[in-house]
Amino acid sequence: MKIRIVPALEDNYMYLLIDEKSKTCAAVDPVEPKKIQEAVKEENVELTSVLTTHHHWDHAGGNDKLIELMGKKTVYGGDDRIGALTNKVQHGDKFQIGELDIECLFTPCHTSGHICYFVNNKEKTQPAVFTETKQRSNHETTIPSTIEEELLYNPFMRVGVESLQKKVGGSDEIDTMGKLREAKNSFKPPQHKI
């Protein structure tokens, strides 16, 4: 598994999720399709899919243009408001990008139809997660925490994990999310300076 980070707009990120074995990839929230097209070309892989976290324009706003530019793709997302959506997903849905396993996690924190995408390789040794929490700071140049760290440290990404539910006393994902939001003020995601 290879993840390429592509800066977008003023303060956002897009990602290419690449399965190096099959040389296929998915674009995550490709709001600037031209940059995605260039990155795909550089990586010498085939773009098959789009993973959309939520419907806001700065994440889903490039979907239609990307398809115009690069042809028909399978577009995943959890909200009917997402442009060019072909496969509406729900919590627990699973699919593959090449040989990578993707699992959808419904996380209605930021918008009502927000989906996180858990990714792992066949050997289950490289867990990663894609979510909307990535914003670049205005005053310092940062790159996002590695996706693996995000999964380890960010409780919002782990809301579906049974042990975490128990820890915060949540009875299900929604309840757990509520309890985590109460604790949000004390939580700071890890960031790395370049």
- Give me the torsion for CA of 127, 162, 109, 141, rounded to 10°: -30
Q: Residue 114 interacts with Zn ion (CB under 5 A)? A: no
Task: Provide the β-strand partners of residue 128.
Answer: 119
Angle between helices 63-70 and 33-43 (to 10 degrees): 50
Specify the residue, 56 or 136, whose C-beta has the smaller distance to Zn ion.
Answer: 56
Specify the residue, 1 or 6, whose C-beta has the smaller distance to Zn ion.
Answer: 6
Q: Residue 55 interacts with Zn ion (CB under 5 A)? A: no
Specify the residue, 43 or 58, whose C-beta has the smaller distance to Zn ion.
Answer: 58
Specify the residue, 24 or 107, whose C-beta has the smaller distance to Zn ion.
Answer: 107
Smallest distance from Zn ion to CB 81, Å: 12
Q: What is the DSSP string of 82-148?
A: STT--EE--TT-EEEETTEEEEEEE-TTSSTT-EEEEEE-TTS---EEE-S-----SSS-EEEPPHH
Distance of CA 190 to the CA centre of its chain: 17
- Whole-number Å distance between alpha carbons of 113 and 128: 20
Burial zone of 161 (CB within 10 Å; 0-12 exposed, 13-18 middle, 19+ buried)? middle
- Which tokens hold the place of 80? 């009917």
Smallest distance from Zn ion to CB 52, Å: 11
Return the range that interacts with Zn ion (CB under 5 A); candidates 37-45, 55-63, 168-176, 183-191.
55-63
Specify the residue, 53 or 165, whose C-beta has the smaller distance to Zn ion.
Answer: 53
167 and 156 in contact (C-beta within 8 Å)?
Answer: no
Return the range that interacts with Zn ion (CB under 5 A); candidates 56-64, 69-77, 121-129, 135-143.
56-64
- Whole-number Å distance between alpha carbons of 3 and 194: 17
Q: Residue 136 interacts with Zn ion (CB under 5 A)? A: no
Return the range that interacts with Zn ion (CB under 5 A); candidates 8-16, 48-56, 66-74, 89-97.
48-56
Specify the residue, 56 or 158, whose C-beta has the smaller distance to Zn ion.
Answer: 56
| Of 55, 56, 73, 114, the one binding Zn ion by CB under 5 A | 56
Total residues at interface with Zn ion (CB under 5 A): 1
Q: For binding to Zn ion (CB under 5 A), which residues are involved?
A: 56
